[in-house]
Amino acid sequence: MDRKIISTGAVLGFIAIILGAFGAHALKKVLDLDQLASFETGVKYQMYHALFLMFLGSSNLVSEKAKKSIYFLVLSGVVLFSGSIYLLATKNISNIDFGIIGIVTPIGGLLMIVGWAILFLNIMKKKA
């Protein structure tokens, strides 16, 4: 499981760097400042959670069961949160109204928060 978690973190980080560069160069010319800031928020949260997964996979502070739960929550959260932000920020380029998916953004954020909370609780209850 640790290898899968670390590999997923690496892939999310890799994609975040590509999307960040794409946003800074190609999208800068076609998005307004608010859309670009939103896109960058998606990239930041994706990168934060890529690093989080790499830490999780390298840690022995949490049980395997907790790691699986955190992994699922964080990965789902990133896909929903960052993914929906990417689509919403670029909707005028694609000419597709993704407004209906705006509801999944806070759900994704909540999933990531719960993942962090499970990590915290597991670390706190672990005996020294």
Per-residue confidence (pLDDT) for residue 78, from 0 to 100: 98
* Structural domain for 78, as ranges: 2-125
Q: What value, to the nearest 5°, has the Cα angle with vertex 120 and ends 70 and 3?
A: 40
Per-residue confidence (pLDDT) for residue 126, from 0 to 100: 79
Question: Residues 6 or more apart from 56 whose CB is under 8 A from it?
Answer: 5, 9, 62, 67, 70, 71, 74, 119
Q: How many domains does the chain have?
A: 1
Mean pLDDT split into 10-residue runs, the chain, 128 residues? 95 97 88 92 98 96 95 98 93 80 94 97 84
pTM of the predicted model as reported, rounded to 2 decimal places: 0.90
Task: Specify the 3-state DSSP secondary structure of 64.
Answer: helix
